[in-house]
C-alpha cells in the first residue's frame, strides 16, 4: 500500500484544542482510519512544524480527501508527500 509523509502545523485553534484535550491526537488518528488512512508512525517535533506522520492509504485520492477533511476544520495545515522505501527504489532502479 502506498505510504505518505504528512507534515502538519497546528493553527492557533488547533493548539488550544491540543492543550485542553491532548487525546484529540488519538481521536484524529481513529478518524483517519475510518477514512482509509492508517497512521504508521507519528512524532511531535520542535521547530517549523508540530507533527510528522508516516501514513498509508490505498491511493492519492484517499489521502487527498482525508487531508482536505482535516484542513476544513481549521485546526491544522498539512503538507503531504508520497514516499518510497529505499529498498523498493533500489529494486526499481536495478
Residue 36, pLDDT above cutoff 90: yes
The whole-chain average pLDDT of the chain stands at: 97
**pLDDT tens for each residue of 39-63:** 999 999 999 999 999 999 999 999 9
Q: What is the pTM assigned to this prediction?
A: 0.91
Q: Please determine, for residue 94, whether its predicted confidence score (pLDDT) is greater than 90.
A: no
Q: Let me know how long the chain is.
A: 94
Residue 66: how many CB atoms within 10 A of its CB?
23
Cβ(19)–Cβ(13) under 8 Å?
no
- The answer, yes or no, to whether residue 24 has pLDDT greater than 90, is yes
Domains of the chain, earliest start first = 3-93 (3.30.70.920)
Distances (CA, A) of 21 to 15, 17, 18, 48, 81: 10, 6, 5, 22, 28
| Per-residue pLDDT band at 1 (split at 50, 70, 90) | very high
pLDDT confidence of residue 60: 97
Closest CA to 49 of 24, 17, 80: 80
Amino acid at each position: 500500500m502506498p505510504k505518505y509523509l504528512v507534515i502538519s502545523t497546528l493553527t492557533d485553534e488547533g493548539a488550544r484544542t491540543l492543550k485542553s484535550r491532548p487525546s484529540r491526537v488519538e481521536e484524529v488518528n481513529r478518524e483517519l482510519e475510518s477514512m482509509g488512512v492508517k497512521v504508521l508512525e507519528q512524532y511531535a517535533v520542535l521547530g517549523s512544524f508540530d507533527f510528522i506522520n508516516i501514513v498509508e492509504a490505498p491511493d492519492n485520492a484517499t489521502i487527498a480527501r482525508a487531508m482536505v477533511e482535516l484542513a476544513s476544520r481549521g485546526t491544522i495545515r498539512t503538507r503531504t508527500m508520497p514516499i518510497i522505501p529505499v529498498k523498493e527504489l533500489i529494486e526499481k532502479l536495478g
